[in-house]
Structure 1
Amino acid sequence: MSDLSRRSVLRAATGAGLGLLAAPALAACGAGPTKAVTGGPARISLWTHDPGYIKTFQSAVGDTSLMKGSPFDYRMRFTNAAGSDVVTRMMAQAVADGNTPDLAGIIVDQFPRVMGSRIAENLFVDLSETVRPFGDQLLKLAPYSVDKIPYGLDSDNSISVLYYREDLFEKHGVPADVETWHELAGLGERLYAKHRISLGMVATGDNGSIVNGFLQLLLQRGGGAFDSAGNLTLDSPEAVEVLEFMAHGVRTGFLMSLPDPYGSSCAAALKSGRLAATVMPNWYNVYGLQANVPDQKAKWRIRTLPRFSGGGHVASTLGGTAFCVLKDKPNTQASVELLRRVYLTREGQLLRYRSGGFLPTLKPLYEDAELRGVTDDYLGGQRVFDVYGAAAADLPIFYQAPGMQVLIDVMGGPVLRALQGKTSAAEAIKDGIRAYRQQVKR
């Protein structure tokens, strides 16, 4: 497709209500050469919301063993912006034929913005051939695929596990190896009745936190919001079961209601010991626990999730950021090659884990001797890949669709009302689906 045709498609999408801003270019430098760079110096422009990715790519291009044999001599230009701004400004620049990045880091909840109106197709490189050699050994392609075509590679497996205070579990006689949620909920109810200690949390603040907490458990149970074709699958017994489980947990005190998993209320609950366990992804170790309760070092541990009696998985997933390559730019070939080295090689995945704690997205690495020997001081010297390996082998697939952000907006209220006991789980699911259907005709 010509540049003119591509801009026409993007302008049409803008007119359809995607809310693009006429924002200035994120990078002030010129557009550079028009001829494709096939070797030698390649100055790659990368936009991201997280300094951790800047550190990762800086380390990668300076790693002579990782870059050995590359036809490109990489130099990086970084722009740091809010996650939503990365997408908004990238699309605005594409419409204006402006200065788009070579590599864009797109948060998982922002990717649905490019899934409709052929936006991803017109902006990003189709990575099908790049990932084909890995088959089903490469995880987390689904959230960044449109019509089964992958357009981004995730930076982290974002494996959700159960974090728990080993000292409090031992003090109050809660076994760390409880097999099912039903058993843990029973223990949690009694623990709350005697000591006002909860073994999990639900979010009651913004729609994103509310629905993400629900979806995290729904994925574990074997359900989901959408299927691989983008069809809504929320009308299911699993969705009702999970929401009923969460609402019952709130009523009994087994689960603590908090505005969000990261704010001051959660920090206070952690510091006081009133929150002794929680389901969250691997990155919560640093961004949730170590950030809020560094003094609780060596008291926390992780394990795979208790099973739902009706089936499902021993793990779940929440969050993530994929890097996408902008197509038809001078540095497109160089950017694909850089992404391949950093994201699809053993050396690159180990570098990403060492530099930012990003879990591998290649299944075989969970059996890698170097990673299996990793211990975590904050988690009391625990060999964390013993847990992550078992979890990665049974990780649910998370599918998205263009209407994902609409679904989050309309489901937040009904889910919250169910958690507060103001409506039943079944009615909440029906109310959310009804509101979604009114806005998304599919």
Structure 2
Amino acid sequence: MAGCSVRSVAPVTSGAVDLQVWTHDPSYVTTFQGAAADAALMRGSAFAPTIAPVSANGADLVSRTITQAIAGREGPDLLGIIISEFPRVMKNQMAENLFADLSGLLDGIDDEVLRTDPYSRDGKLYALESDASISVFYYRQDEFDRLGIDAGMETWDDYLEAGARAFEKTGQAIGMVSNGDNTSIFNSYLQYLLQRGGSPFDDAGELTIDTDESAEVLEFIRKGVESRALLVLGDPYGAAAASAIKSGNLIATVMPCWYNLYGLQANAPDQAGLWRMRTIPRFSGGGHVASNLGGTGFAVGIDSPRKDAAIDLLRRTYLTKEGQLLRYQTGGYLPTLTALYDDPDFTEIRDEFLGGQRVFDVYREAAKDVPAFYQSETMQQLSTAMGAPLLAVYGGRMTAAEAIKATTTAYKQQTRQAV
């Protein structure tokens, strides 16, 4: 792939420029269009960009980017990579040959920028995260009051007991996990694993699921499913979850910040004012009060003649207060600059769907305790290997230790490692 280059095209160094923005989500297009048209945000720039969007499925966009590079044709100037797709370009130095190294943009502020690890390879950063994607605990305040559930309980042990009583009394659940496709099943585990302080891989890409943290999470899921405190759904983001929310069968769940808009509000607008959010109850063994799930990083095409203009727009939109405020106002994307969680322009924001709650009172605490998350080029193989063992844990057919062993064996077989 390194030989398939279009670097002979003269680079654009100033002036009007059309930037090809490839993304699966039109909100990102709106965000970049708003940034490019904002005179204050673009003040001092050598470029006057306009946005030429290309929309498609996230996986297809990555495939097309790779295909264009192999053919020696121009790809995107800015590519939105869904976080679960990034492992595809971690193989065979693809990220290095496809995308510009953005590490220099973080000079002096690298400790202030959230979620760089999932888009890094060999010490280089290839995409900037669009949303902190902080997971919190959403709950129906009215149903908790009716059932006598204390929303301030500190641990998952307490919540599972309360959830078991709620299901026995009314058939309602205080959380959910997936039994659908392997990715959804794995993500149910991943969100809790990160909160507990684990990670599927370490910073060197080595598998790290055979840990006390992983075992505790698996036991937590087994216990929650067995007591029906946790509802088992095929698709946590689709019709099954929408039905459970609308019917009142699901009255609480751990989900990322974006689930408020795309899960709760989209599916149950009549429940406005009834929902609240808080940090996640802790596991008895420790961990964090927050987690992560999902996200989209934006990368810049390394061979694009408009690379400098793309980097300039990305920096202004993603690494300035003004750009991050625009992102939140456009698509609800949480800041990835930690200092902004104490900024009055954010801290005074109230969410009427959540009963007028000052959401950054919760996000501030969560942002200070966001777990690390490392990816590997073999993430897909791990997701596939873990699907069946996780379902066996749900059904009580495997213990946590047995599931970890089965997953490790299957993973090594798929990645051709010694078993």
The TM tier, using the shorter chain, reads: over 0.9
- Residue 127 of structure 1 deviates from its aligned partner by 0.9
Give secondary structure in 2 for the equivalent of 1:78. Answer: strand
Match of 1:278 among 229, 253, 263: 253
Distance across 2 between alignment mates of 1:415 and 1:362? 35
Q: 1:104-134: CA deviations, max 9, x gaps?
A: 0000000000001000011111111111221
Q: Distance in 2 between matches of 1:115 and 1:88?
A: 13
Deviations 1:228-270 (A, max 9, x none): 1111101111111101110110110111111121222212211
Specify the alignment match of 1:430 in structure 2: 405
Conserved 8 A contact 2:29-2:51? no
Matches within 5 A, 1:89-238: 89-238=64-213
Match in the other structure for 2:280: 305
* Cross-structure match for 1:7: 4
Listed one character per residue, the Cα deviations across residues 139-167 of structure 1 (whole Å, up to 9, x for unaligned) are 10000000121100000000000000000
1:245 aligned onto 2:242? no
Provide the C-alpha distance between the structure 2 equivalents of 1:263 and 1:329, rounded to a whole number of angstroms: 37
In the other structure, the counterpart of 1:341 is: 316
SS in structure 1 of the partner of residue 380 of structure 2 = helix
Residue 81 of structure 2 aligns to a residue in which SS? strand
Code of the residue aligned with 2:38 in structure 1: it is D
Aligned to 1:28: none
* CA shift for structure 1 position 7: 2.6
Report Cα offsets for 1:54-108 as digits up to 9, x if no partner.
Answer: 1111111111110111010111110000000000000000000113111100000
Query: Unmatched 5+ residue regions in structure 2?
Result: none
Large movers: runs of 4+ above 2 Å: 4-8
Aligned residue pairs total: 417
The Cα offsets for residues 299-358 of structure 1, whole Å up to 9 and x where unpaired, read as 000000000111100000000000000113210111111110000001000100000000
Aligned residues of 1:47 and 1:104 also touching (Cα < 8 A): yes
Q: Is the 8 A contact 1:152 1:323 kept in 2?
A: yes
Amino acid at match of 2:120: S
Q: Corresponding residue for 2:37?
A: 62
- What residue identity is the alignment partner of 2:349? V
Q: Tell me if structure 1 keeps the 8 A contact 2:7–2:303.
A: no
What corresponds to 1:405 in structure 2? 380
User: Which residue identity lines up with residue 175 of structure 1 in the other structure?
Assistant: D
So what's the TM-score if we normalise by structure 1? Answer: 0.92
Q: How far apart, CA to CA, are the structure 1 residues paired with 2:163 and 2:302?
A: 52
Does the 8 A contact of 1:148 with 1:228 survive in 2? no
Distance 1:200 1:312 in 2: 19
2 CA distance for matches of 1:59 and 1:33? Answer: 31
Whole-Å Cα distance in 2 between the matches of residues 327 and 75 of structure 1?
Answer: 19
Cα distance in 1 between the residues matched to 2:252 and 2:206: 34
Give the alignment's TM-score, normalised by structure 2. 0.97
1:289 to 252, 257, 264: 264
CA distance in 2: counterparts of 1:159 and 1:327, whole angstroms:
30
The whole-number CA distance in structure 1 between the counterparts of 2:237 and 2:48 is 40
Sort the Cα spacing of 1:396 and 1:32 in 2 relative to 1 into closer, same or farther, 3 A.
closer
| Separation (CA, whole Å) in 1 of partners of 2:4 and 2:376 | 23
1:371 Cα offset (Å): 0.3
Q: Give the SS at the match of 1:6.
A: coil
Check whether the contact 2:186–2:387 (CA below 8 A) recurs between aligned residues. Answer: yes
Q: What letter corresponds to residue 395 of structure 2 in structure 1?
A: Q
**Structure 1 33/75 Cα, relative in aligned 2: closer, same or farther at 3 Å?**
farther
Q: 2:54 aligns with which of 66, 69, 79?
A: 79
CA shift for structure 1 position 197: 1.1
Distance, in Å, in 1 between the alignment partners of 2:110 and 2:71 is: 37
Distance in 2 of aligned mates of 1:277 and 1:5 = 49
Aligned partner of 2:82: which letter? I
Distance 2:249 2:381 in 1: 34
Deviation at 1:33, TM superposition (A): 9.0
- Spell out, residue by residue over 1:376-417, the C-alpha distance to the aligned partner (whole angstroms, 9 max, x if none): 011110000000010000000110010001111111111111
